[in-house]
Amino acid sequence: WFADHSNAAVLAPAGAWGERVAGAFAQAWEKLGGRVVEVQTYLNDGSDMSTPVRKLLDIDGSESRYRSLRQVLGVDIKKEARRRRDVDFVFMAAFPVQARQLRPQLEFHQAQDLPVYSTSHVYSGVADATADRDVEGVVFGDMPWVLDPAAGSAELRRNVEALWGDSFKAFVRLYAFGVDGYHLVKELGRLRAQHYTEFQGATGKLSLNEQNKIDRQLSWARFVRGDRKSTRLNSSHSSVSRM
C-alpha cells in the first residue's frame, strides 16, 4: 500500500489453508482501500502451475480474442498474447517448493515487471542459494531470527543449532517463539506500563495492545542476486540475498 499499489491479483493453493490465507489477505487489503481483481488457485502437487498463472494474467483471454478476430477477418494474423494491465502486484501464498515453480511461470507469461509479495512461508528459514534462485525478486515478511542470524540472538541461535541441528532446520521459527516467550515474562510489566513501547525480540518487534495481546511487527526482505547479505532499504524493509 505504501508502494502506491492498489489492484492485487492473488495466487493461492487449493484447499483450506489457501482459502484462509487468500481470504485474510483480501479482507485486509480491501480494508485499506485496495481491490482484489483476480484470485486463482493451484494444485500443491505441482502438476500444472502454468494454467493458474495464465488465468491470473488473462493470457487465455488474450488468445481467445485473437482466435475470434482471426475468425471474423478470415485471414491468418500475427499475434502476441498480452497479460492483463489492471494488476499492480501479485500476492503469492506458497511454500518454497511451489513458489520456485510459480515465480518462473509469472516471468514466462510476461509478468516480469509485476512485484510479487508473499508471507514467510515462501522461505524455508535456512539459506539455500541454488534453490532460492527461482524466487528472485519476491518480497516477504519474516522474523529477525531468520533474516539476520548474525544479530541479536546470534550466539543463542548457534548454540541451539549445534545442540538440535535436525529439529532446528525443521522448526527454526518455533525456536524463536520459545526464545521470545522466555524473555517476554520479564518485559510484560514495562510493556503494559509504557504504551507504544516495543521489545526487539527474535520474532520481531513486540508490543502489548489494549487487549493485552502481543502484536508482532516483522521485517521485510527480498530475494536478490549476489552473496547473502542484509541491507536496510527503509525503516522496515531489508534486502536479503539468497544466491
pLDDT tens for 196-212 read: 899 999 999 999 998 98
Residue 241: the pLDDT is 34
More confident residue, 113 or 169: 113
- Mean residue pLDDT of the chain comes to 85
Rounded mean pLDDT, 221-229 = 64
Residue 83: the pLDDT is 81
- The grid coordinates of residue 179 equal 526464545
pLDDT tens for 123-144 read: 988 888 888 999 999 999 999 9
Q: What value does the CA radius of gyration of the chain take, rounded to a whole number of Å?
A: 21
pLDDT tens for 72-127 read: 555 565 555 678 899 999 999 999 999 999 999 999 988 989 999 999 999 988 88
Binned at pLDDT 50, 70 and 90, residue 16 comes out as: very high
